[in-house]
Structure 1
Amino acid sequence: MSDKIGPFLGTWILDTEASEYQQGEAPKSATLKIEDNFGMAVFTMNQVSADGQVTNDSFSAVPDGPETKLGKSGLVDAMSLRFVGDRNLVSEARKGQLTLMKADRELSEDGRTLTITQTVHLVDVDSFTNTTVYRRAQ
């Protein structure tokens, strides 16, 4: 994996006050861990919802590598992960040729804040954008 992933690696804690949700309710808390596993970027998310329900999820992909086939949810069947410049890591999830979700992870210049702008397209309904702000864990 290129050195470009290095600044993104680590544990990130959600800043609920700085985040904005068009879809869904803001969680009480969340963490995001990004790790390098032999060239594969591994994203692990842990979240506590407003009503106290705990959700854990993970996915992995090779940045600037081949598309990753997905089969877990059935909602999407493939995902790509690519760098856009030095400070943006963008993933797109597709069903066939249709992009249903795009997440742009933008790293601040000082490397201490990760802002994720995630847009979800609900076919024949609407599109929603959530902006979540994470701070690097100390």
Structure 2
Amino acid sequence: MTDKITPFLGTWILDVEASDYEQGEPPKSATMKIEDEFGMVRFAMSQVTAEGETVDDEFSAMPDGPETKLGKSGLVDAMRLVFDGDRNLVSEARRGGLTLMKAERELSEDGRTLTVTQTVHLVDVASFTNISVYRKAQ
């Protein structure tokens, strides 16, 4: 794993007030853990929805590596994770080679804020963008 991933690693806490959602209600709270697992990057997310339900999700991929096939989701079948410069880590969730969701994780200069711009493409309907601002946990 390259040193490029190191600044992204750790636990991130959602700053709900600084975030902006076009699609859906913002969660009451959320955390995201980004971990190095033997060359793979593991993302573990947990959020409390506006209705108070806890939702957990996770995925792993190799930065700048091959597309990772996904088996558990009916919506997408593959994930791609790439660096776009040193401070932007981008994932694309795909189905049949078509990108349905793109998440751009931009790290601030000081490494304390991670802004996730997630765009969802609903085929033949519209595209929606949610911007989630995370602060690094101490």
Q: What is the TM-score with the length of structure 2 in the denominator? A: 0.99
- The corresponding residue for 2:37 is 37
1:54 is aligned with what amino acid? T
Cα distance in 2 for partners of 1:72, 1:53 equals: 21
3-state SS of 1:102 partner? strand
- The corresponding residue for 2:102 is 102
- The corresponding residue for 1:66 is 66
3-state SS of 2:93 partner? strand
Cα distance in 1 for partners of 2:79, 2:35 equals: 18
Shift >4 Å, 4+ stretches = none
Structure 1 position 97, deviation (Å): 2.1
- The corresponding residue for 1:85 is 85
Cα distance in 1 for partners of 2:40, 2:122 equals: 29
Number of matched residues? Answer: 138
Q: What is the TM-score with the length of structure 1 in the denominator? A: 0.99
- Quote the RMSD (CA, aligned, Å): 0.5
Cα distance in 1 for partners of 2:33, 2:23 equals: 23
Cα distance in 1 for partners of 2:111, 2:68 equals: 27
